[in-house]
Amino acid sequence: MVESKSLVIGASGIVGSRIVERLLVTGERPTGLSRNHRRSAGVTWIRGDLLDPQSVAWPDVEIIYCTASARLLADAIPSMARPSLRRVVLFTTTSISTKVDSADPEERAGLAEYARAEMDVIEGCESRGIGWTVLRPTLIYDEGRDVNVTRIASLISKIRFFPLCGRGHGLRQPVHAADCAIAAVSAVSTARAENKIYNLPGGETITYREMIGRIFDGIDRARCIVPVPPFLWEASFHLLRVVNSPTSNPRWGSEWPRTWSSIKRLPDLISNGNLDRLSRHSEVYLTGARLRRTSAASTKLPAPERETAEAAHRRT
């Protein structure tokens, strides 16, 4: 087995673990960063936290794959950069480019910060002569492990139907975590992917309603999607505000501020008629699937959305 030349940040996550698997197949012994003590065959684990990069004993590697926070990576680059480092592969999200004109001010602000963090990683690499590749996947799924499709499948298994607000005609392009890993390792194997940004959509575009239907198919349940009138949906979330407030339900604890921030936006999405976006927010609370995976990811990367860091800056 070849000694480690790659560090995977987020190696225990759904995409990071798939990258580790991919590297093991190639005969490499990858290094994984974890906040906790871990052991697994063929992997060298180091303990550390991106929140405190100066305390980490960063190894001398050629490649860093990061599925963690772009902001934390940008802040950590000065500490982790070694003369041996030649490429950084960062995962962000297609939302940076597809939702830049979102009607939701909070969403726009969050994505603007995400874009700034992405750009800071790029500039941090370029100032040190390190190559970079940014991969922007769409909705990532991995049977039994993701926080989107798996939660929906769990809900369906329990109640045997799925409540859908609106028509569910918004489009989705789910991409499998294994395909994200293939794209990441492929990006490192060619100089043509250096200093480029790629969108990573799934193999096909389907409606949100069809995606839910395929989750039913994947767990061998008859499709039972129940449309819920928007006014009932709004009333239910107003009820949640009362029932699940910190005073009436202390179990939320420190999670309440973030949860409440999301819940309170739902009636606005309904009143604005943006029911497809509402469905995306609903996954957090209502919540594997036989979705078609892309064959292109196994052979080549899609065409880069942007060619240079300067172009990336203009677009974001």
Q: Cα Rg for the chain, rounded, in angstroms?
A: 21
Inter-residue contact 81 to 130 (CB < 8 Å): yes
**Beta-bridge partners for 33:** 9, 46
Helix/strand/coil (H, E, C) string of the chain?
Answer: CECCCEEEECCCCHHHHHHHHHHHHCCECCEEEECCCCCCCCCEEEECCCCCHHHCCCCCCCEEEECCCHHHHHHHHHHHCCCCCCEEEEECCCHHHHCCCCCCHHHHHHHHHHHHHHHHHHHHHHCCCCEEEEEEECCEECCCCCCCHHHHHHHHHHHCCEEEECCCCCEECCEEHHHHHHHHHHHHCCHHHCCEEEEECCCCCEEHHHHHHHHHHHCCCCCCEEEECHHHHHHHHHHHHHHCCCCCCHHHHHHHHHHHHHHCCHHHHHHCCCHHHHHHHHHHHHCCCCCCCCCHHHCCCCCCCECCHHHHHHHC
Inter-residue contact 141 to 291 (CB < 8 Å): yes
d(CA 212, CA 218): 10
pLDDT reported for residue 147: 79
d(CA 38, CA 269): 42
Instruction: Give the pairing of strands 6-9 and 31-34.
Output: parallel
pLDDT reported for residue 312: 37
pLDDT reported for residue 166: 75
Q: What is the pTM of this model?
A: 0.75
Give helix 230-243 / helix 256-263 axis angle, nearest 10°: 160
pLDDT reported for residue 228: 81
**Short-list 78, 66, 181, 76, CA closest to 134:** 66
Give helix 230-243 / helix 275-286 axis angle, nearest 10°: 40
Tokens at 230, concatenated: 């928007």
Q: Does domain 6-140+174-202+294-315 have CATH number 3.40.640.10?
A: no
> Domain locations in the chain?
6-140+174-202+294-315
* pLDDT mean values, one per 10 residues, the chain (316 residues): 84 94 93 87 91 93 96 96 96 89 84 94 97 94 83 90 84 90 94 94 89 92 88 70 55 50 47 39 33 39 41 38
